[in-house]
Structure 1
């Protein structure tokens, strides 16, 4: 873990400049009628989940290049997630993936996570890969497959995930399937959707009352001609067919280029079916780039809808980062993304809602836009840093992490798995 003494030393070195920046921003915001302490409190309360697979090195459909000191198992993953939480203080939960993260004692795993100041977020099933000695293949689909044996196997796996989630204190099961077709005529498009709904109904029936089902859509890959749950409309149809515990998860990269994602968010909020988010960024498609690295304004606009909906009945979305780190240290990328996501949240909290509503009612188009841009263009970095420091985190998490030597230490402790393999981790 990262030494508290190191964090303290680095924070003290930045203290004078930080206090000046924080005070200056406070005075600037006061002139706009905003209390900086209110925003700092919101930043301190904010948290986004880290996926256990995110601390490993990702890959593409063509190759994967192992990283130094990458985690070998769930215990290593929790240690890495603990480092992120220790430095950012805004990643209080982890999201596990089964069967990658299976253990024999889930109560012990829950205690182990707690030792890193971590809890468990949504549990993720995996029916897009065949496991060793699997009785039926998912090559042609899982929950929507033509083969009833494959469907039954996928249902049983998801029900097992529900039981594991209950043991870990998770509040949701996330279901994503890559089911679809690559050739016209390969399968009945309507039949696959019916198979999916029937199988999901069996899983839904196994949910305890306190657990939600998050349905994740994706436009394409690995099925490139048709995908069973390809968009938010298909996801919403499935959720409404299953029941009130089923909701729609939004991954920022799972849409056609230039799609208005913030409008989708507003629609799902309107019908009370927004499950939450998988945050990442994209340039061309489902790139899984670091959140805020390409289009931070879009991230802000999504949070503008979320902040506006605060207080609505049943509004309690879940937030998780979902990225692939191919050329960076995953811990650094995840910390950077956690900071950028928190930045968008605090910036959206700066929007003058009353003035915006008045401008919208008066059809003051440019005036309304300028209100949003005023919030977006405000550098809230001092607020984010203050929130971290007050909770014992780092003023500059990435610089402190690099100074710690953690990655070099883990490179010695965790030998690299040699040889390239295709596929994303």
Structure 2
């Protein structure tokens, strides 16, 4: 298998830390054992856990005001894939990539698939882009794409999504994620029902083009660039559209695309109940759609979301197989470091949620014992599962200390020599 980091380097670094890790792991095993919990069960679960990396997340993010590129940034999908392989080699839990088209379009997808196979990387959901005009585009998305009043714009958006499905098939992906920025910025600008009708009519044509073993995931977003009204603005419109389109269409939950103080875990529960949870874009948010590193601000909320997901696993609920992906903007950090840390933080929430004593929790819920039910969740959340995660990485030949190993190889300096940046390229705009 093709590697960007020598396995011998990771092994040597791990051996320096293994004695302390084993001591911490054994201590946690003893502590959990007093409650009848076998630590090995959870370590095995951590080894199996995987979350996809967004191809676009490997580059430096930006704002409406400026973008400050990092040295050695990937310039194309092959270089993005190279960075994704580094993330997986160090974290052990990111064995798949989600591409975005047309940003990641290539002339020869067989070559791209061969390269990803050499890295041991899989492709999952493909993402379409009808929220910005592309060079040479004959008709504009300025006033929307799937819901545009102009048929020519709608037709262009429909065809682009069908093209994305074709690209994804060549890569071995199995789902299409659709987000549109359609909406309005002024009262009276748009007829709400007609816009939604046009959106659904367009999506019906895309849905008809799905392969039999594919799903389509609809992503909702409250605002930006449509600040007065957005066609798919919340989980309500999302699930209505998904139910209208059919069983292969489900709702995608982006943690940043909700109003502050929204009970996201309850939304997740509702989508599970009605068999419409397609997957997640994990990030964190302080004000709105901030796309901050996962778990950096609201780790308990992330845990509560996974509490619902693990509950669905435990109850073996029908048609429950959500996809997990990171979706973040890294403006001031090295994207590789942020994606490694974020993937591990999502993995952490999953393992903590597995520690919840489901039967005890159900008992407290049935007896309306609010205090004990809350404490049952807090008991699991407060367990430091760091030794479990580190041991899982060690057993997968990933790094006990991923950031330490990454910084030791000075990867950015090496890549800066191989990836010279175009000095004439723009340094502004949203990424």
Same fold per superposition (TM over 0.5): yes
Q: Deviations over 1:73-132 (max 9, x none)?
A: 000000000000111110010000000101112122111111111000100000001111
Calculate the aligned-residue CA RMSD, in Å: 0.8
Residue 320 (1) aligns with residue 330 (2): no
What secondary structure is seen at the aligned counterpart in 2 of 1:10? helix
Aligned partner of 2:259 in structure 1 is 256
Q: Using the alignment, how far apart are the partners of 1:99 and 1:177 within structure 2? A: 15
Q: Using the alignment, how far apart are the partners of 1:62 and 1:230 within structure 2? A: 24
Q: Using the alignment, how far apart are the partners of 1:40 and 1:131 within structure 2? A: 46
What secondary structure is seen at the aligned counterpart in 2 of 1:244? coil
Residue 43 (1) aligns with residue 39 (2): no
Q: Which of 78, 94, 105 is matched with 1:75 structurally?
A: 78
Aligned partner of 2:419 in structure 1 is 414
Deviation of 1:417 (Å): 3.8
Q: Which of 105, 108, 118 is matched with 2:108 structurally?
A: 105
Q: Which of 123, 130, 135 is matched with 1:132 structurally?
A: 135
What secondary structure is seen at the aligned counterpart in 2 of 1:300? helix
Aligned partner of 2:36 in structure 1 is 33
Q: Using the alignment, how far apart are the partners of 2:427 and 2:406 within structure 1? A: 29
Q: Using the alignment, how far apart are the partners of 1:5 and 1:405 within structure 2? A: 16
Aligned partner of 1:7 in structure 2 is 10
Contact residue 63 and residue 420 of structure 1 kept, 8 A = no
Q: Using the alignment, how far apart are the partners of 1:146 and 1:32 within structure 2? A: 62
Q: Using the alignment, how far apart are the partners of 1:16 and 1:388 within structure 2? A: 15
Contact residue 67 and residue 416 of structure 1 kept, 8 A = no
Aligned partner of 1:423 in structure 2 is 429
Deviation of 1:420 (Å): 4.9
Aligned residues: 425
What secondary structure is seen at the aligned counterpart in 2 of 1:214? strand
Q: Using the alignment, how far apart are the partners of 2:427 and 2:79 within structure 1? A: 21
Deviation of 1:411 (Å): 1.4
Residue 241 (1) aligns with residue 247 (2): no
Aligned partner of 1:163 in structure 2 is 166
Residue 342 (1) aligns with residue 347 (2): yes
Deviation of 1:5 (Å): 1.6
Contact residue 281 and residue 288 of structure 1 kept, 8 A = yes
Residue 221 (1) aligns with residue 224 (2): yes
Aligned partner of 2:289 in structure 1 is 286
Residue 372 (1) aligns with residue 377 (2): yes
Gaps of 5+ in 2: none
Gaps of 5+ in 1: none
Deviation of 1:407 (Å): 1.3
Contact residue 276 and residue 319 of structure 1 kept, 8 A = yes
Q: Deviations over 1:277-306 (max 9, x none)?
A: 000001111100000000100000000000
Q: Using the alignment, how far apart are the partners of 1:181 and 1:207 within structure 2? A: 29
